[in-house]
Structure 1
Amino acid sequence: MTDLKYDVAGIGNALVDVIADADDKFLTANGIEKGSMTLIDDKRADELYGRMGQAVEMSGGSCANTIAGLASLGGKGAFFGKVKRDQLGDVFMHDIAALGVDFPARPASAGAPTGRCLILVTPDAQRSMNTFLGAAQKLGPDDIDEATIRAAAITYMEGYLWDQPDAKEAFLKAAKIAHDAGRLVSLTLSDSFCVDRYRDEFRRLAKDEVDLLFANEAEILSLYQTDVFDEALQKVRADCKFAALTRSEAGAVIVADGEVHVVDADKVAKVVDTTGAGDLFAAGFLYGLTRGKDPVTCGRLGALAAAEVISHYGPRPQVSLAKLAKEKGLA
C-alpha cells in the first residue's frame, strides 16, 4: 500500500532493564520464581535492586526490544509506551530515537517514575524478571495516535498490557484502527503466567481479533491447557491464520494458512542470557513478513535474530542484524 510509513507499530511497556547474574540460591532466598515475570511495587524494586550484584542497565521492554530488532534489520518502526520525564525516561527516549524508531507517546511530567525490570540471569541462562511498571502502566487510549497505526503494515502488541485496564483499552483501540485500515494485528502472549491470568480472553483474541500470534512452547501449552505440544499446535492451527511458536533449541513451528512449517534454531557457541530471545524472534519474523518473505524464511530471520541476542547480555542486538541476514542470504 502506498500510504505505508512503518513496517510495524509496537505497543508495550517502556522499561529500563537492570540485568545481573544470580544463582538459584539467591532466587530462593528472595522468593523469586525462576523463569517467571512478576509484577512488583516500588518498595520491592528498591529492596531487590539493593541485593542484586553488579548490573548492566539498558533500555528494554518486550515490545520495544522487538521494534529495536526490526530497526537493526533495516525496518521502520514506531513504538507506543509511557515513560516519565526523568533520568531513566530520558535514557529510554534517547535510545529508541537513536535506532530511528518514532516514539509518539508524550512522557509524563508527574506521577510514578519510569518503569524498570530487574532481571536475574542464572548459570543456565534462564532469566527471572521482576517488573516495576511505574509510568508504563499509565499508557492509555489517548496515547494511541490513529495516523501512526493506520500508516503501519502491522500493529504488534505484548500480552503484558493486559495487566493494566487502560493499556488494555489502548490495545483494543489500536487493533480496531488497524483492522479498519486493512492492516494486520499481531500479539505475543509474553509469559505463561500472563496466559494463566487471562487465558479465556487471550483465546478469544487469538481466534477473533489477532492475525498473527507469537508464543513460546510454555505459553501455547498454557493457552490450551495441555502438556502435549502437538495438541496445542492443532488447536492454534484451527484458531489462527498465522502463528509462530518458538521451542528454544528445538527451533520454531510456523502455522500459515493451515500449513505447518518447522524451522531449525540457529546454532550458538554459548547461550549467555535468554532475555529477549522471543522478542527478537518476533522482530525477524515481522521484518520478513513485511518484505513478502515466505513463512520459512520469516522463521529463519527470527531464528537468526534470536541467536544473536542470546549470545550476550541484554535484550537488544549488539551487531547489525541486517548484515547477518545478508551474510546468510536472507536479506
Structure 2
Amino acid sequence: MAKRQLFGIGNPLLDIIAVLNDEKFIDKHGLKKNAATVLEGGEAEKKYEKLLDELVSNFGVKYIVGGAVNNALRTFQWVLGENNEGVATSMGCIGDDIYGKRLQQEIIKNGVNPCYMIDKETPTGTCIILVSNNNLNHTSCAIIGAAQRFRKRHLEQNFDLVKEARLFYTSAFFLGSDSESVFCIAKHALESEKKIFCLNLAAEYIMSKAKFCKPLLELIPYCDFVFGNEFEAAAFAKMKNWKVNEMSEVVVKMANEIEAKKKERWIIITQRHLPILVAKNGSNKVQAFPVKEIKNEQIKDTNGAGDAFVGGFLGQFIQNKTLAICVKCGIFAATESIQQQGMTLPPKCLFSE
C-alpha cells in the first residue's frame, strides 16, 4: 500500500506505566486513587516532574505511545501489518527532551511516520499510569505540555503530507490546541472532493466547554465520519438541547440535523458491551452491530478502547472494505486492546472478515 495515505493530527503523549506492589507511592504524592488527573500551572507541573523522576528512578516502567489520535493511528498500522509501515502520518507537538525522543522512537516501532513540531521551551506531554491493587486500580496523572503548543506554521511547512493523504483523522481534544490547523485540513479535504475527513468527539467535557463547543459545531459539517461513545453523544445532545429518549434518536439527529458540506456524513457511536450504532445523513435508519461478549476477568484496561475501534475501522476503510467489515474490525481491535495492560495490542492482527 502507498505510504502516507492517512494523516492524523492530535496531542501526542508518552504513557509511562508502572505496576506497583502497594499504593505507598500513590499516597506519598497525594494522588487520587483510581482516578485520572490532568495537571496545569507552574507549581503543579513542577510537582509532576518530581513525581515522574522518582517513578522512573525507582520502578520498572513501560513506555507506550499515547494520545487519542496516536492510539488510533498505531492500531490502524497494526491492522495493515508490518509490511505496510508508514501508511499513517502523525502530526503534533512534542518537547526537546528525552521523552519526546522516546515517543518518536516508539511510534516509529508502531509503523507510524512522525512529523512533530519541536517546542524547545515546554516538556513533552506525558501521562503516568500507576497500576495497583492486583490490577484493579488505575491511577493516572498527566501534563499536556508541548502538545498544546502546536502552531499552524508547522502544518504549512509540511503541507505536502496533507496533499498526499486521502484520509484525515483528528480528535476534538486538538481543537483546544490549534483549531485553525484542523479547519485548514478539513477545508482541503472538502475542496479535494474524494478525500475523507474523520473526527472523534473525544470526551464528555468537550461539549460543556466554550473553547471546544463553537469550533466543534463549525467542524462537523466538514466531516465524513464522526466517532464517539454513548456518553459523548448524550453530552452532544444535551449541548444541542435535543429532546430525545433513545441513543438511536441522538445518532439520527447528529447525522441529519446539522449542516453537511459533504454528500455523506456517517455517525458511528460505540456503547461498551451494547451494539455499535451507525446512522447516515438523509435517512432515519439506524444500523446496529453487536459486539463480541468478553468475560470480566479477561478485561485488563479499557482506556483507549474507542481509539482502537477507530483504528480498526479505518484500517479496513482504507482498503475499500464494506461498512460491516470496517465496524467488525473496529470491534475486533477494541476487544483485543482491552485484554492488554495499557493501550497496547498483540504482536500481530489476526482479524478475519
How would you bin the TM-score normalised by the shorter chain? 0.7 to 0.9
- The letter of the residue matching 2:227 is F
Summarize deviations over 1:248-282 as a string: whole Å, max 9, x none.
Answer: 11131122453422122233341100121011100
CA distance in 2, matches of 1:231, 1:44: 45
Contact preservation (8 Å) 1:256, 1:295: no
Contact preservation (8 Å) 2:14, 2:99: yes
Give the greater-gyration-radius structure (CA).
2
Deviation at 1:221, TM superposition (A): 0.5
> Quick one: which of 251, 254, 258 aligns to 2:275?
251
Contact preservation (8 Å) 1:160, 1:190: yes
1:261-280 → structure 2 map (5 Å cutoff): 261-269=287-295, 270-280=298-308
1:168 aligned residue? 179
Residues matched between the structures, number: 318
- The letter of the residue matching 1:63 is V
Question: Normalized against structure 2, the TM-score is what?
Answer: 0.79
> Quick one: which of 204, 210, 222 aligns to 2:223?
210
- The letter of the residue matching 2:218 is R
Farther off after superposition, 306-315 or 35-44: 35-44
Contact preservation (8 Å) 1:83, 1:89: yes
1:148-187 → structure 2 map (5 Å cutoff): 148-164=161-177, 167-182=178-193, 183-187=195-199
- Structure 2 gaps of 5+ residues are 239-243
2:241 aligned residue? none
CA distance in 2, matches of 1:177, 1:125: 45
Question: Normalized against structure 1, the TM-score is what?
Answer: 0.84
SS at structure 1 position matched to 2:303:
coil
Contact preservation (8 Å) 2:38, 2:144: no
1:73-222 → structure 2 map (5 Å cutoff): 73-74=79-80, 76-108=87-119, 110-119=120-129, 129-144=140-155, 145-164=158-177, 167-182=178-193, 183-197=195-209, 198-206=212-220, 208-222=221-235
Q: CA separation of 1:15/1:266 partners in 2, compared to 1, >3 Å: closer, same or farther? A: same
Summarize deviations over 1:274-293 as a string: whole Å, max 9, x none.
Answer: 12101110001112222112
Deviation at 1:189, TM superposition (A): 1.1
SS at structure 2 position matched to 1:104:
strand
CA distance in 2, matches of 1:180, 1:264: 36
> Quick one: which of 331, 334, 346 aligns to 1:306?
334
CA distance in 1, matches of 2:31, 2:161: 42
> Quick one: which of 299, 304, 312 aligns to 1:284?
312
CA RMSD of aligned residues (A): 3.1
Summarize deviations over 1:80-112 as a string: whole Å, max 9, x none.
Answer: 01112321111111112223322223433x201
Contact preservation (8 Å) 1:7, 1:287: no
Q: CA separation of 1:119/1:111 partners in 2, compared to 1, >3 Å: closer, same or farther? A: same
1:315 aligned residue? 343
